[in-house]
Structure 1
Amino acid sequence: MPRSLTSRRRWRSDMRISIIAAVAENGVIGRDGGLPWRLPEDMKRFKALTMGKPVIMGRKTFESIGVPLPGRPNIVITRSRDFSAKGVHVVHGFKDALDKASSLVGDGDEIMVIGGAEIYRSALAFASRLYLTEVHEAVEGDARFPDFERRRWREASRDRHPGYDFVVLERINDDVTIQAF
């Protein structure tokens, strides 16, 4: 998984950065600070895929959950210098989150980006895998998954269910060089 990041800080190239999200047909991922659906199997999959791995999220996502996710290091990105929460690592940018995550994982470990929309947008350039739950309906909502070029991703697996599919996409060209932003 060759990657480089031009930066003053050290970012480990052996980390796999993955995004996990449930996305409606119209791109909606959230409504009024929560999920616009109830999919128990999706929640089980989320827990299984993220357990023991660092999770990166935005402040609004953290506040919608209400507590740190147990069994995994929680990294919360916020612009507010006054924000603090017990049981989480608070950082002030996506690159800072990667730096923190790199100090919390072993060689070749996976870091999970769990939302929200702005954090997904930042993470897409770094991610080599997307774990998507494709919800088979258009729903009302105020948060959307960012547009991305699907042709740059290969479908590694699809598990079909009534009303949704579990899909894993892997970046076709994993040789990504990212310049500091």
Structure 2
Amino acid sequence: MSNNTTKTQNPITLIVAASTNDIIGRDNQLPWHLPRDLAYFKAITTGCPIIMGRKTYESIGKALPNRLNIVITRNPDYQLPDAEVTLSVSDAIAIAQKWLDNQANNNDGSDKNCQSEIHIIGGAAIFAEALPLVDKIYLNRVLADFDGDTYLPAIDWTQFKQTASTHHAADDKNAYAMAFEVYERTKS
């Protein structure tokens, strides 16, 4: 995957759940099951384009409903019946931008969920490649340490300002406390 400098008129976001020790995955799965986290992800991404790597798509097992699913792979022959497939982050962003432009031109008022954001949903390699282009980070900080094999890429937090944080205690459905945090890139 090549480095790129694609700019769009719609914000590019990274949406990720990470433990306090920055684990985001284990054996190509989330290391936790937190219904509150899944509901938050659904609320943020429904109606929007989502961009993911092939392994993330395969771990989910299907395209997520009510979203434009774009899958990045190194294999030019890879095809999916339920998602757009492309070879680079820059191409994925261009597909998402074109789709959002078409949505805006044909808007009948039915798309109230999407904030016209392009969401990068994983995995770690896609996060790392897209990070220089990201305008906003939706981070669900799972307030526990986990064993895992996939880490949140290093983020220069001095380039971002926290604009929201909501803490949720553990409960009978969510075994771990979590904090939904939003960071926006500072303009320099």
Distance in structure 2 (CA, Å) of the matches to 1:140 and 1:117: 16
Aligned counterpart, 2:79: 84
Aligned counterpart, 2:20: 25
Q: Deviations over 1:29-87 (max 9, x none)?
A: 00111100011011001001000000000000000000100001000000012211111
Alpha carbons 2:19, 2:141 under 8 Å: kept: yes
Unaligned runs of 5+ in 1: 176-181
Which stretches of structure 1, 4 residues or longer, exceed 6 Å deviation after superposition?
none
Alpha-carbon RMSD across the aligned residues, in angstroms, is: 1.5
Aligned counterpart, 1:71: 66
Deviation at 1:109, TM superposition (A): 2.1
Matches within 5 A, 1:112-131: 112-131=119-138
Distance in structure 2 (CA, Å) of the matches to 1:50 and 1:169: 16
Matches within 5 A, 1:24-173: 24-106=19-101, 109-162=116-169, 163-173=177-187
Distance in structure 1 (CA, Å) of the matches to 2:160 and 2:52: 23
Aligned counterpart, 1:179: none
Deviation at 1:139, TM superposition (A): 0.5
Q: TM-score, normalised by structure 2?
A: 0.84
Distance in structure 1 (CA, Å) of the matches to 2:66 and 2:93: 19
Select the structure that is richer in strand. Answer: 1
Aligned counterpart, 1:178: none
Letter in structure 2 aligned against 1:39: L
Q: Deviations over 1:71-123 (max 9, x none)?
A: 01000000012211111000001111111111110368210000000000011
Distance in structure 1 (CA, Å) of the matches to 2:126 and 2:65: 21
Unaligned runs of 5+ in 2: 105-114, 170-176
Distance in structure 2 (CA, Å) of the matches to 1:87 and 1:45: 23
Distance in structure 1 (CA, Å) of the matches to 2:152 and 2:141: 11
> Size of the alignment, in residue pairs?
166
Alpha carbons 1:12, 1:102 under 8 Å: kept: no
Alpha carbons 2:8, 2:97 under 8 Å: kept: no
Q: Pick closer, same or farther for the CA change 1:19–1:56 going to 2, 3 Å.
A: same
SS at match of 2:100: coil
Which sits farther off after the overlay, 65-74 or 107-116?
107-116
Select the structure that is richer in helix. Answer: 2
